[in-house]
Amino acid sequence: MDRNILGMVLLMASTTASAQVTLPTTEKATYTRSLSGQWDFKYIAGSSAGSDSLFFMPEYDTGAWKTIKVPGNWELQGFAGMTYGKKVRAGLGLYRRTIDIPAEWDGRGIYLCLEGVNFGYTLYVDGHEAGSFNSSYNRQTFDITRFAQPGHTHTLAVRVDTRPRGFEFDTNDDWSLSGISRDVLLFALPKVHIDDITINTSMDGRVDIEALVAGKGKKDKTVIEGEITDAEGNRVASLASAATTSARHRAAAGVPQPHLWTAETPYLYTVSLRLKLNGQTVQTYNGKVGIREIAWDGGIYRINGRPVKFHGATHHDLSPVHGRSITDEEMKRDLQMMKDANMNFLRTSHYPPAPRLLELCDSIGMYVMCEVPFGFGESNLKDSTFLDDLKNRARLTLRRDKNHPSVVVWSVGNENPVTDIGLKTGLYVASLDSTRPFTFPMTPSVYKDWAEGHKAFDRANGFNSRNTPYIVSPHYPRPSEVAAFAKMYDRPMVATEYAHALGTDFGQMQDIYEVMATTPGILGGSVWEFFDQGILVDTDKKPTPGSKFADYVWPTPGSYYDTSGNQGTDGMTYADRTPQTDYYQARKVYSNIIIREAPLRVLNRFDFTNLSDIDFGWQLMGDGKELASGKLDVECAPHDSTLLSLSPRVPQPLSASKYWISITAKDRQGRQIYEKSVRLCPDGAPGLAQRIGGEPEGRTKVKKGVVTAPGYTFDGNTLSLKNAEGVEIISDMALARIGRKPTLASTATQASRRSSKLHSLWPAYMPGKTVTTVEANNRKGCTARVRFDCDSTRYIDGTVAIEHKPGGIIGYTFDLTAHGNGETVEAGAALMLPKELTNMRYMGNGPYAAYPGRDMLSEYGLWSITSGDLYYPGNRQHVDIALFTDDDGNGFAIVADDADIAVENHDRGIVVGINTHVASAYNKYEWPAGMTETDGLRMKGSFDIIPLTGRWNEATRAIFGQPDGEIPTFMPFYHAYDL
């Protein structure tokens, strides 16, 4: 069925007397006062004010009180300790300040608006109670006309309580910070004023406005008139209601050839309204409107008649410095980062966001699921007396945010049990707004159970797939479950939380979203979540853990981001919005342009944009050098694909060893939104090992197990290697690696009672070498039989062979077998490097670590990184050559054939693993795909090692630059987790 949509108009929430008032935007400078700034403040632990119980009286002396910044949270200003989740400490915050009511406000109604206060509060003016409220994230406006005298000064007081009735609803999976956390506004309106505005639009350009007018006498006639202007300020339509004594006014206009609002084309018109009373203008109003239309039926969700996909993340209103009082610049940064990561969807978590965030979503182009706040508080949902509380939260959420074009779905709570009052709240949302669907976000078990229960709910209310007011939202489906989940219901599905981004693993996102993108009935989803929920804490009481595992991030030795253990380390960025590799993975997976190979085909996953609006460029690369370049003209409609005609001529004779085509795509703003490397394999290309090595000549000598060869010295007693300058470049050439260094996600999964029973890991990811027997060591090479004991029942044994080849090249072959029960996510041989070999330059997929299931993240190319870099640890795929050197160029090259190489910092040095078995990355409580049984697991492979001094040959310099060339290191932190 067709659904009209709502434009954006800024509304004030209801008063305790249930009135609703609208800000007079054109009169804002004269009739509006911000009360942000310093207030007098006292914090009291517990729930009793004691001797301060009359603090709200004007004569009460607050001279000994401290001051506090409003908006702000008192925990971040030194008044109390922080609490995560619903274990909120009982406490009171007493706020006082004076306000001056301008004399020119005489004859008007005077109002006080509090945008958000955690968790409940009572407002006083000159000692009189003006009202109370207890929904932390809903806007509340109080009519204080009876207390306020224009031209006079008044005492304003607010008593904030951390544990009012139903406070649990506002403590869902985040820091429970207290106080006046959003703006406070004092303003005046004419006695007859616009009480509420609803704007509905449709894709044919129709704009319907309904306005409620308050304060009228029985014989007063009012009319609403105005115009609609486009983004350039041109009038495109006029509108006017009939003059009436009724409170309700309706007006309509038609915008010819409208620019339709979407996340891809966020075009906004301006609606200017005038309220006339008995022929005289008494109030003016300007607001933005986006013309668009929503429909959902038969399992498909559409915007402006077209099926769309949501790809985004959940978002808390949280700053590591400002807490709940996020600033305009912080909101802009978050949204721009989301757009830069190819996201078009934001789910507010778990409450209506700061109103400015939605204004920015309207203008930047972001679909929003806006949440009616009652996550957690499960026991309250069985208490029928809370129904009015839930309905009030719903009413206030919709009244404030209903006119934003960016708001496209209402979320009714979060992961709540299905109860009678919860369902009634959903129906109430549908009764307030038929232009959008609502949804109940559910855990997987509740979602499965409700697959049957919803049928009775539908029958009782007359719903079916064509007239349903709600869509469905499961949380955390596994890749194998996504398609099956979509079939459980006959309506659109959106995964409002999936692929939990705990730590830096993020193993399932790619596979899950690919099913979403290719299944018509799945609307898409939002990853939990965009950033770590961390608060910056200055302290010397929590020392950094050195090289040990950590749950926290230290930007300096004396400060860290408190994430309450691993409860808040679930973002795609760190708390300060430094991107993790997860962020860049989301950017790649969420790209609306996907290029497939064999044959070369481009998929257009835009919902409204033809690829003719995208600038495509290509470069032919040889060993990292550009050999040719050009542009591509691509014509491809949304949700379609087309072949790419691209076959550049490779220059002859072949002078490079590796060739590839690098394709880039930029949007209308010049942002690079996608890149793809396509490898070429022309016959006759010179080998890398012969080019990098091949120069040293001379005799190979053996003395007391030490082999001196042209270009290096190999010690068969310690299985170590030095270059021609005598610099140790490998301290141990015979190690086994079976598993990975622990991470936040792997540790949480293994500790989970639910998940730990599913798999039993081999206990030591790099077992110690206990027996080494050198069976042969001569000028031709060395063969060593090795054994690595893990515990009394598990060990690895086998052989490592070194071959001394001509030209200073060392052939390395390993054949190892694991014995003993268990499973592993990774296995192979390993080398231990001295800590000084900090520089890694390689030709392979980069620049980020990637694994099966997240292999879209990186592209083939020439990359460089250091062991001190934030993005260093992890696996590099499709590596053909990798150089590990110190700052002077001493080190070695590994030349392999499409290798998977793992790099990790270790107490003893730097571990370089050459993997023969690799599983995907972890997700929170989810094991990697492709895990391998260890008993009898054989690890067999070979590669070449070429020792290097600081005098690189011409071929090495041509590919990798100068040996002492500086590699930039990105490490914004003193210490971080998962390093």
Q: What is the DSSP string of 668-688?
A: TTS-EEEEEEEEE--TTPPPH
* Model pLDDT for residues 109-158, shown as the tens digit of each residue: 999 999 999 999 999 999 999 999 999 999 999 999 999 999 999 999 99
Which 3-state string (H, E, C) describes 795-808? EEEEEEEEEEECCC
| pLDDT in the model for residue 21 | 58
pLDDT in tens, 392-411: 999 999 999 999 999 999 99
Say how far apart CA 628 and CA 882 lie, in whole Å: 25
Are the beta carbons of 329 and 89 closer than 8 angstroms?
A: no
Please tell me whether residue 491 adopts helix, strand or coil conformation. Answer: coil
Report the distance separating Cα 407 and Cα 388, nearest Å.
24
pLDDT, mean of residues 236-253: 96
Nearest alpha-carbon partner for 297 in 520, 518, 496, 609:
520
Q: Provide mean pLDDT across the span 638-657.
A: 94
* Residue pointed to by tokens 């009460």: 60
Rounded CA-CA distance 548/555 in Å is 17
CA-to-CA distance for 824 and 764, rounded, in angstroms?
Answer: 10
* Burial category of 262 from C-beta neighbours within 10 Å (exposed 0-12, middle 13-18, buried 19 and up): buried
The pLDDT tens digits for 292-337 are: 999 999 899 999 999 999 999 999 999 999 999 999 999 999 999 9
DSSP 114: E
Residues 259-275 have pLDDT tens digits of: 999 999 999 999 999 99
Q: Which residues contact 154 (CB under 8 A, 6 or more apart)?
A: 98, 99, 100, 101, 125, 126, 147, 148
| Beta-strand relationship, 367-372 and 407-412 | parallel
**770-804 pLDDT tens trace:** 888 999 999 999 999 999 999 889 999 999 999 99
Mean pLDDT rounded to a whole number for the chain: 94
- Give the residue carrying structure tokens 């306020």: 148
CA distance 441 to 416: 8
Q: What is the CA radius of gyration of the chain?
A: 32
For the segment 156-164, the average pLDDT, to the nearest whole number, is 98
Our CA angle for 351, 355, 358, nearest 5°, is 90
Task: Give dist(CA 592, CA 603) in Å, integer.
Answer: 8
Best mean pLDDT range from 17-31, 520-534, 539-553, 683-697: 520-534
Average pLDDT over residues 838-856: 97
Domains annotated on the chain, with CATH: 2-7+192-202+204-289 (2.60.40.10), 25-189 (2.60.120.260), 329-338+374-533+568-588 (3.20.20.80), 535-565 (no CATH), 592-685 (2.60.40.10), 696-960 (2.70.98.10)
Q: Which residue, chain included where needed, has tokens 């302290």?
A: 539
Number of CB atoms found within 10 A of residue 649's CB: 8
Buried b (16+ CB within 10 A) or exposed e, 221-241: ebbbbbbbbbeeeeebbebbb
* pLDDT greater than 60 at residue 13: no
Q: How far is CA 542 from CA 105, 533, 554, 558, in A?
A: 54, 18, 10, 8
pLDDT at res. 20 = 46
β-strand partners of 347: 314, 369
HSE, CB side, 13 Å, CA atoms: give it for residue 268: 23
pLDDT of residue 772: 86
Quick count: other Cβ atoms within 10 Å of Cβ 819? 15
Instruction: Give me the pLDDT at residue 23, please.
Output: 52
Going by C-alpha positions, the residue among 117, 168, 150 that lies closest to residue 13 is: 117
Nearest to 434 by CA among 92, 883, 4: 4
Determine the pLDDT at residue 27: 55
Which helix (H) or strand (E) covers residue 57, if one does? none
How far is CA 367 from its chain centroid? Answer: 15
pLDDT in tens, 890-923: 999 999 989 999 999 998 999 999 999 999 999 9
According to the model, what pLDDT value does residue 345 have?
98
